[in-house]
Structure 1
Amino acid sequence: MKEFLLPYGKETLKADIEEEHLAGVLLSELHSYKAPKSGAELVQDALEHPIGSPRLCDIAVGKKKIVVISSDHTRPVPSHIIMPLLLAEIRKGNPDAEITILISTGLHRGTKKEELESKFGKEITDKETIVVHDCDDKDNMVYIGKLPSGGNIILNRLAVEADLLVAEGFIEPHFFAGFSGGRKSVLPGVASRETVMYNHNSAFIADPHARTGVIEGNPIHNDMLYAARAARLDFIINVVIDPKHDPIFAVAGDCDLAHRVGREFLASKCQVDAVPADIVISTNGGYPLDQNMYQSVKGMTAAEATVKEGGVIIMLSKADDGHGGKSFHETFRDEKDLNRMMQTFLDRKPEETIIDQWQSQIFARLLLKATVIFVSSCDGQLVEDLHMVPAHSIEEAMEKAKAIVKKEDYQVTVIPDGVSVIVKE
């Protein structure tokens, strides 16, 4: 018997898999990688040795309005480590700079004060000017041109009017943008709803290059990078984190060149070959990424890449916040035919994209390949609304999975952290 302790909210769940049924374990090397220095030292080194850019303290000289884009409450960015060093670097070159921290919520809800304190610490929250982006606040949006795909680039006024635009973030595999971090701080981070929804259109989501770990030929990435350049994103500091959310690698400098170095490091540690199986167990890496069902689709896509056609994905996600998206929930609750749903998405023009369509499209794609058993704290009816099978323990989920695959010699692949791996099919 092989025992696995799998992240679930702020806890772990134990899975016992008989060795004769275990096909493989897809585990990122990030789980065992030992950084040569502390997280703070890595960040400081990156700031002192930027890639494709002068040091930030030198760029900041003479700049009046400086805006630092920071990720929101849904991302486990170790801002309590990064932000103090980043602010010190700016003030080293410009002690009198007017600095605004702009929280890049994208289309998410606004970040609450207690979440800001948890993210930055009380000192920064109390002393610094912090503004939470609102994608629907049209009075504070500015049109600055067109995306390569034809959509309008409409961004937060603070970012557009800054004399110096900087971003902090982290780099992880992303299920349609290839990787998070870098240019994503601008689009979707501080973009208008219209701009984000155009970028996340059904044709782009359906493109075979819009996949985890893929940048070359990815139309979503291309638009995002163009928007970051158009906004004059001058400097980034991005980290790669371990399962405890501590930095193990850091890059700073040009928003594309530095990001490339970061994602190359990440890919070297977390790309794994698919191990096809009848049953695949995956997670969203625990809190904060498994707070709702919407975000949990990310961890499911890792399982999608290795589960056999007609197989079962067991997804572990505490999802204390429920579905995580009203439109996402209603789309699946109100349409029982997944093929018809998918065709509806594909027939929509980019400018007709509706809220959460991209997540729904990806979710429908994987549901058409496999049955999903969802282990969570959610009400069973809510889980069934989203075309999944509810379960409240791994043991219950495994019994249901075995009944579905109907094979004595079933095989199981375990993915302890579905958002930290790039599964190569």
Structure 2
Amino acid sequence: MGKDFCQRFKHQNHFCDSDDFVVTGTSSRGNVMECNKFAMECDHRILVGGIVFHFLAGFGGGRKTVLPGISSRKTIDFNHKLYFKPGPAGSGAVETCANGITAGNPVHEDMVESAKLAKISFIVNAAVDRTNKIAQCFAGDIVEAHEAGMAFVKNMDGIKLDEQADVVIASACGYPKDINFYQGVKPIFNAVGAIKPKDGVLILVSKCGEGWGNPDTEKFAFEFENMLDREVFLRDNFGIGRYVGFKLFEVATQVHYILVSDMAPELFAKTDIIPCKTVEEAVAKAHEITGKEKMSTYIMPFAATTMASMDL
């Protein structure tokens, strides 16, 4: 917000583990909405943010500034666990909890209910282009303005495909977007819809100079032998770092996931991720996996922001 704003207005950094919350209501799915007391005591609540594709809620921005933005950890974890289908471990995920999808997405719908209970006055959300300049701003009602923004982003950064490819080579867009393994969640889920399921190959080029980037994500690499064990643990011990780890390792069971990074290959021994050191090595591995001399291929140089899919 800048120095001038901070000098003129009272401000607070939100902390989801504090005790300073008030209950604004309960969602239709049973989520008790605990919101930041400081924010709820204000006469108006104006949300400022950006709209991008989001691998769990469909899109960022809008209602996400309330949940998770100013919500308690308890409320956040309840919301994010809606990703799993009801039932025992192994039941899997709700298919509509995915990039670019809000219709029938329980995580998104629960967030919208939270924002309505928080009585938001209006929002100002921006869509940013590949040069990090504002392409368009959307202001007004939290639902209507955000829906307009989502449609704009889908048109600007969404790539409608006629067919999926044997191979997708995706770049995490360099520093700081490729700073660690954790950040790979963005380009992976923007690119995975462009790949033929099961037999397709995803090559992610991401330096990961700082390693895992999250201790819970690292834990999910070393302490579990398979995805079922990871799901059992995650359902009872939900946390966003664990969830991101789960999603990143799950992708490697759905397509052949090759990671070109600086990370040591032995770190991925208990996962299905195929580590490589160069793009040339990764492409050679892709030929080996597909058994094809000529592979249909998409290259996504801006995979951290652009999404490719047949369903857009």
Q: For this structure pair, what is the TM-score category when the shorter chain's length is used for normalisation?
A: 0.7 to 0.9
Q: Distance in 2 between matches of 1:126 and 1:390?
A: 49
Q: Match of 1:39?
A: none
> Higher relative contact order by CA 8 Å / sep ≥ 6: 1 or 2?
1
CA RMSD of aligned residues (A): 2.5
- Quick one: which of 94, 105, 114 aligns to 1:207? 94
- Quick one: which of 137, 144, 169 aligns to 1:281? 169
Q: Distance in 2 between matches of 1:362 and 1:392?
A: 23
Task: After superposition, give the CA deviation of every residue in 1:220-245 in whole Å (9 maximum; x if it has no partner).
Answer: 11110111111122111111111111
Structure with more of its chain in strand, by fraction: 1
- Report 1:125-164 matches (<5 A): 129-137=10-18, 139-164=19-44
1:353 partnered with 2:207: no
- Report 1:17-416 matches (<5 A): 83=1, 120=2, 124=5, 129-137=10-18, 139-201=19-81, 202-203=83-84, 206-274=93-161, 275-308=163-196, 309-342=198-231, 344=232, 348=235, 353-384=238-269, 387-416=272-301
Secondary structure at 2:254 match in 1: coil
Secondary structure at 2:84 match in 1: helix
Secondary structure at 1:240 match in 2: strand
Q: Distance in 2 between matches of 1:299 and 1:129?
A: 37
Q: Distance in 2 between matches of 1:174 and 1:409?
A: 33
TM (norm. structure 2) is: 0.86
Q: Distance in 2 between matches of 1:123 and 1:161?
A: 23
Look up the equivalent residue of 2:199 and give its one-letter code.
Answer: G
TM (norm. structure 1) is: 0.64
CA displacement at 1:186 relative to structure 2:
0.7
Name structure 1 gaps, 5 residues minimum.
1-82, 84-119
Secondary structure at 1:269 match in 2: helix
CA displacement at 1:128 relative to structure 2:
5.6
CA spacing shift, 1:218–1:124, aligned 2, 3 Å = same
The number of residue pairs the alignment matches comes to 301
Look up the equivalent residue of 1:423 and give its one-letter code.
Answer: S
Contact kept in structure 1, 2:224 and 2:270, CA below 8 Å: no
Q: Distance in 1 between matches of 2:267 and 2:45?
A: 42
Q: Distance in 2 between matches of 1:168 and 1:262?
A: 13
Secondary structure at 1:163 match in 2: coil
Look up the equivalent residue of 1:332 and give its one-letter code.
Answer: A
Q: Distance in 1 between matches of 2:262 and 2:10?
A: 37
Contact kept in structure 1, 2:205 and 2:260, CA below 8 Å: yes
Q: Distance in 2 between matches of 1:145 and 1:287?
A: 41
CA spacing shift, 1:383–1:417, aligned 2, 3 Å = farther
Contact kept in structure 2, 1:312 and 1:370, CA below 8 Å: yes
Q: Match of 2:88?
A: none
Task: After superposition, give the CA deviation of every residue in 1:11-32 in whole Å (9 maximum; x if it has no partner).
Answer: xxxxxxxxxxxxxxxxxxxxxx
CA displacement at 1:129 relative to structure 2:
4.5
1:423 partnered with 2:278: no
Q: Distance in 2 between matches of 1:317 and 1:129?
A: 40
CA spacing shift, 1:321–1:226, aligned 2, 3 Å = farther
Q: Distance in 2 between matches of 1:360 and 1:292?
A: 12
Name structure 2 gaps, 5 residues minimum.
86-91
Look up the equivalent residue of 1:148 and give its one-letter code.
Answer: S
Q: Distance in 1 between matches of 2:240 and 2:307?
A: 27
Task: After superposition, give the CA deviation of every residue in 1:158-212 in whole Å (9 maximum; x if it has no partner).
Answer: 2222221111111111112111100000101121111111111142682122121
Look up the equivalent residue of 1:333 and give its one-letter code.
Answer: F
Contact kept in structure 1, 2:62 and 2:142, CA below 8 Å: yes
Secondary structure at 2:208 match in 1: coil
CA spacing shift, 1:290–1:385, aligned 2, 3 Å = farther
Secondary structure at 1:206 match in 2: coil
